[in-house]
Amino acid sequence: MTTAPAKTILRALAGETLPTPPIWMMRQAGRYLPEYRAKRAEAGDFLSLCYNPDLAAEVTLQPIRRFGFDGAILFADILLVPQALGSDVWFVTGEGPRLSTITSPAGVAALKPADAVHDTLSPIYETIRILRRELPEQTTLIGFAGAPWTVATYMVAGRGTPDQGPAHAFKDADRAAFTALIDRIGDATIEYLSAQIEAGAEVVKLFDSWAGSLKGQDFDDFALAPTAKIIAALKARHPAIPIIAFPREAGPRYVGFARATGADCVALDQSVDAGWAAANVQRDGCVQGNLAPQHMVTGGQALVDEMRRIVAAFSGGPHIFNLGHGITPDANPDNVALMVETVRAGR
């Protein structure tokens, strides 16, 4: 007889409808918290913080201590995989990440093999081992990686772009070479997430933050298919590990995404209505989301009313409460506390 998982996030991911949805928040460890900013300053720069297991574990724990979330997401960055594959990666204060660019078949061919993530990213696995020792017993540890399309957009452009134009241009000019890049990232992501699971991650999440810019066959080839490939490989190695997929701004393509990819849960951005998502996406299993992050800035009764609406809409099936995207640096921690209190009060 199989014993049901006790942790609320794991119960929801297993398909259980709970009277109170478990709650965590994307980017819950971050710049909106003064204690995070202090640790970031101690580390010296963002990448040094990611690669320092003691400090990375500490900033992962900070929002758990402050708010008591049901899940703790590993503090790291999606661009660590490109760095492990040989890209130069650095962060510019106030502007975000910068990378050396890949714009040709030769650039793709020059990347390191997928298993390069094992040595280069070993500090990340040590962070996970620390967290499994330090987290409260009831808190689920969530690992993550960027999905291949989103990671590729940064590797091609060398930075974030508003429309992912450089990646689209590479894809359209040489689909074979671009597909080879997606495959290399996907293979590395399988190795990276598998190592996170072996270190102690209980759930992993694939962030496809720029999936919404893919349409038609491109969505199938570069968002859906790579996610399905990664999930199938991870499930073959770790059958019991639940996987959350987040094809942000997929719109109508959220429908059937879980069935097509094998994901245990689909995270939803705030652009889709919760009632529509309950009828069309939640019917396939657990959903996560989807409060607009701006409510963490503005707070007030509008925050409470919108939260109640979302919780009510998803109350008929498995649901993990979360934002529709990451919390922003200008958010007020008091509003985060209000969010947690409102969800758990159930009114």
Residues with a catalytic annotation lie at 27, 31, 40, 77, 154
d(CA 254, CA 247): 7
Are 60 and 72 a contacting pair, CB within 8 Å? yes
> Is residue 74 packed enough to be buried (19+ CB in 10 Å), middle (13-18) or exposed (0-12)?
buried
Identity at 77, one-letter amino acid code: D
176: how many CB neighbours lie within 10 A of its CB? 8
How far apart CA 28 and CA 184 sit, in angstroms, is 30
CA 56 to CA 53: how far, in whole Å?
A: 5
Question: 99-107 long-range contacts, Cβ below 8 Å, gap at least 24?
Answer: 99/154, 99/155, 99/158, 99/159, 100/158, 101/155, 101/156, 101/157, 101/158, 101/166, 102/155, 102/156, 102/181, 103/156, 103/166, 103/170, 104/174, 104/177, 105/174, 105/176, 105/177, 105/180
| DSSP code, position 263 | -
Residue 50 tokens, joined: 């990611």
d(CA 323, CA 325): 5
Tally of CB atoms within 10 A around 35: 16
- Strand-pairing partners, residue 323, are 291
Residue from 278, 159, 171 nearest 223 by CA: 171
What one-letter code names the amino acid at 120? T
